[in-house]
A and B are shown apart, each in its own frame.
Chain A
């Protein structure tokens, strides 16, 4: 997550900023998934097992599904926002012929 934040601030290149944003996002997703994880737990798909039946599942042995679905949708929305970011970067490139922030600023002041 720190890598992503650093890149968003420090990288001059717009594409690298977008990659940094995606890395930042996975850091946050990692946090959510890890607080939803449980020791020795199974995946949140119920099966018939020894200490584990369909109608009466052992709740402590099933990973928290709630954080998972929140992050699942976050990933899909993340790729959509990444697309918007890349579209903006592409438009900037058409105008200024560069992805570099400094060059874009120089072009504008000219």
Chain B
């Protein structure tokens, strides 16, 4: 197996991925375009795996192939499926093709200046990364270096990334959310012609998802808690938790889910995740440390300073997981119900 150059797989997957990408954009039916885009994401996920980026592959599988496809499908469900071009606009497309091709050629011309593929001594691989690899165990007792870098060494980065997800969630609320009282006025503007099938009346889908959801949630909790030792962490676990609730609201009814997870609850919990993250950082300051330096927490957390960092990472990952879970649910509900929070797919 070691004799086989990894490039063989890579080239095959890459060619397939480009084909899928082009065909997703060439589809006339938007629903099929969304599904082909999901397949494209899965292929990219295989490419990440062959390059050794298992955490990225996990995220791509959960986010790219799972949730973003669902978002596109939810949008299409509320609007229209067909993408018939009204005017061919061939001249414009050729012009755009030239610009894209020119940019690509320009970037490819820089290719000889890049270090060789897989060179361990290239600038990217030889400046900061060796420190992370060498010290992850001694500093935080976490074998999964990606988790350590994510939540400890580059904790600020992740805090702000989580905030970006939260802000995007707020933006979608402010774009789409319509109060029920107001929506009566704009009723005529809203399109009431979803595709002609009723997805809520399938007994098999209901029962299957009823059985699947608890296992999905259990797996997601495992992914968050076991992110120190295996691929996974707050982002992936949060997305899977969100996906389990989205599955419930697709197979049953949006009302069914909203009885348990009211809009207010979802909003508060989305904010709570960011708050947990920020408060862990603040607690470090109060315990005479630097912001997000979890080793300051060793008097309240079990174990020595290194284990305190390990537990601090876990606390932060829980915060990330909560924010990502509820912002995914919030975005989905807004997209699926046209911002009215009454009925969805």
Contacts and interface: CB of A to CB of B under 8 A. Distances in A.
B80 A33 contact: no
**Which DSSP category, helix, strand, loop or mixed, fits chain A's interface?**
helix
B214 interface: no
A94 B146 contact: no
A94 B120 contact: no
A45 B142 CA distance: 9
Contacts of B72: 15, 18-19, 82, 86
**Which DSSP category, helix, strand, loop or mixed, fits chain B's interface?**
helix
Contacts of B205: none
B124 A36 contact: yes
Given A10-B93, A76-B239, A99 B71 contact: no
B161 A71 contact: no
Interface in A13-54: 13, 15-16, 18-20, 22-23, 26, 29-30, 33-47, 54
Interface residues of B, number: 101
A43 B231 CA distance: 10
Contact of A2 (B37, B100, B230, B235): B100
B335 A87 contact: yes
Contacts of B15: none
Interface string B1-45: 010000000000000001001101100001001100100110010
B175 A75 contact: no
Contacts of A45: 54, 143-146, 229-231
7 contacts: A6-B97, A33-B48, A46-B143, A66-B128, A69-B157, A86-B75, A87-B331
Interface of A: 1-7, 9-13, 15-16, 18-20, 22-23, 26, 29-30, 33-47, 54-57, 59-60, 62-73, 75-84, 86-91, 93-95, 97-100, 102-103
Given A2-B104, A13-B83, A55-B137, 5 more contacts: A9-B96, A15-B72, A75-B56, A75-B60, A99-B80
Interface of B: 2, 18, 21-22, 24-25, 30, 33-34, 37, 40-41, 44, 47-48, 51-56, 59-60, 63-64, 67-68, 71-72, 75-76, 78-80, 83, 85-87, 89, 92-93, 96-97, 99-101, 103-104, 107, 114-115, 117-120, 122, 124-125, 128-130, 132-134, 136-138, 143-146, 148-150, 154, 157-158, 161, 164-165, 168-169, 171-172, 175-176, 189-191, 229-231, 235, 239, 324, 327-328, 331, 334-335, 338
